[in-house]
Homo-oligomer: A and B are copies of this chain.
Amino acid sequence: MKGTLTIAGLGPGSDALVTPEVSAALAAATDILGYAPYVARVPPRTGLTLHPSDNREELQRAAEALRLAAEGGQVVVVSSGDPGVFAMASAVFEALEQAPQYQDLPIRVLPGITAMLAAAARAGAPLGHDFCAINLSDNLKPWAVIEKRLRLAAEADFSIALYNPRSASRPEGFGRALAVLKEAGCGERLVIFARAISAPDEKIATVTLNDATSEMADMRTLVIVGNSQTRRVGRWVYAPRGVR
């Protein structure tokens, strides 16, 4: 049987948010690779080899997945959320660029519910008008680029989804991002802190940016900064469809 490589999104946590297409790919897999907590979401079974790996090893994991598929495996690389949003799909194509001998392999990317969509749904509709998504990790880009994008996003009056706001190795960045947005005049905007959405320990809170502090986020939090029109109705937060 010819090997294949599938890059699949598991959604934010709940099995009720895994698409049937992804479930079918997992059921047909011989090998599953990914960051250990995501691989742990797949139940073991005969004929399936699980290959959990560490967070920082995206490119090596991608190269290993290509190699296993070339050997005939039905290989699935799993990401949390959507594999194309700050996740494994780009890493696989980077690895493919470095390994032209694999360019004829059958590859599929299967989308998933990315964190900002799950967080927005729980909060109401804060992404109902134009928005952007910025990865706050500066592992692979200079912090100056992040600051510039935050300023331009504020000027464009986008709602702003912030991925990877804060981790143990990057405790400072999120506080600086909040300061940049305050300087850009966003102090009165609503900010949603959505932690572990759809998992049993899910938590969501909304404050104004002036009241937001760095400690409100951790590595499992997705942050959405509203646009200038974002507002509350009852317990919900939403962006109106139009600009007045």
Q: Could you tell me which A residues sit within 8 Å of B by CB distance?
A: 11, 14-21, 24, 58, 82-87, 89-94, 96-97, 103, 107, 109-114, 117-118, 120-122, 124-135, 139-142, 145, 148-149, 152-153, 155-158, 233-234, 236, 238-243
Contact = CB atoms under 8 A, between A and B. Distances in A.
20 contacts: A17-B19, A17-B20, A18-B20, A83-B121, A84-B121, A85-B128, A86-B128, A90-B129, A93-B238, A94-B240, A109-B124, A111-B120, A131-B132, A132-B132, A139-B242, A149-B156, A152-B153, A152-B155, A152-B156, A156-B156
A120 B83 CA distance: 10
A103 B135 contact: no
B129 A130 contact: no
Contacts of A16: 19-21, 24
Nearest to A125: B89
A86 to B, nearest CB: 7
A117 B238 contact: no
B133 A132 contact: yes
A128 to B, nearest CB: 3
A236 B95 CA distance: 13
Contact of A132 (B92, B130, B141, B155): B130
Contacts of A87: 128
A177 to B, nearest CB: 13
A139 B82 CA distance: 30
B152 A90 contact: no
A18 B103 CA distance: 31
10 residue pairs, one from A and one from B, having the closest CB atoms = A90-B128, A140-B242, A89-B125, A132-B132, A93-B238, A141-B243, A16-B21, A109-B121, A152-B156, A111-B117
Contacts of A84: 117, 120-121, 125-128
Contacts of A155: 152
Contacts of A145: 157, 243
A148 to B, nearest CB: 7
A142 B20 contact: no
A157 B132 CA distance: 12
Contacts of A112: 113, 117
A118 B110 CA distance: 8
Contacts of A130: 132-135, 149
A15 B23 CA distance: 13
